[in-house]
């Protein structure tokens, strides 16, 4: 899954994930639907609506985790969504200080961010 997605394509994935069933897609989604469908991140339902595939949900979660690491790097007092925080802690990218409750990026997390920034 080495798809280089634009900011607009990530926005379209986010919009699709939050779109209620039966709602009409907006211009951003329509602009990106063909490519996202082609790389199998979204699928067209029988009723003509759009839905994320498992790969699409995974891509969005990875982006949320990367954005979470960047958020913690900029502001250790920031809070992250529960699943993102649990995943980053489980993988050893962030640690929580028991006394103060502050979140900090581990050495592994810093290395991951550096690697991500080097490859983008």
- Percentage of residues in the chain having pLDDT higher than 70: 98
pTM for this model (two decimals): 0.86
pLDDT beyond 90 at 48: no
Q: How many domains does the chain have?
A: 2
In whole angstroms, what is the distance from residue 45 CA to residue 77 CA? 41
Residues 68 and 113 in one domain: yes
pLDDT(61) > 90: yes
Residue-level pLDDT at 92: 93
Find the domain containing 109 and state its range.
Answer: 61-119
**Residues 99 and 67 both lie in one domain:** yes
Q: Are residues 31 and 65 located together in one domain of the fold?
A: no
Name the band, by pLDDT with cuts 50, 70 and 90, for residue 4.
Answer: confident
Task: Dump strand ranges (E) for the chain.
Answer: 42-44, 50-52, 94-96, 103-105
pLDDT value at residue 1: 53
Q: pLDDT digits over 90-105, tens only?
A: 999 999 888 887 888 9
Structure tokens at 78: 């920031």
Residue 1 domain-assigned (yes or no): no
Would you say 41 and 29 are in contact if contact means Cβ atoms under 8 Å apart?
A: no
Helices 107-119/54-74 angle, 10° precision: 110
């Amino acid at each position: 899954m080495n798809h280089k997605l634009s900011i607009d394509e990530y926005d379209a994935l986010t919009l699709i994930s939050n779109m209620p069933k039966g709602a009409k897609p907006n211009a951003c989604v329509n602009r990106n639907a063909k490519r996202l469908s082609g790389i199998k991140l979204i699928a067209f339902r029988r009723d003509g609506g759009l839905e994320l595939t498992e790969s699409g949900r995974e891509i969005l979660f990875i982006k949320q985790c990367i954005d979470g690491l960047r958020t913690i790097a900029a502001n250790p007092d920031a809070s992250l969504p529960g699943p993102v925080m649990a995943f980053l802690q489980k993988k050893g990218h962030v640690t929580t200080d028991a006394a103060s409750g502050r979140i900090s990026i581990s050495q592994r997390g810093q290395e991951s961010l550096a690697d991500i920034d080097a490859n983008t």
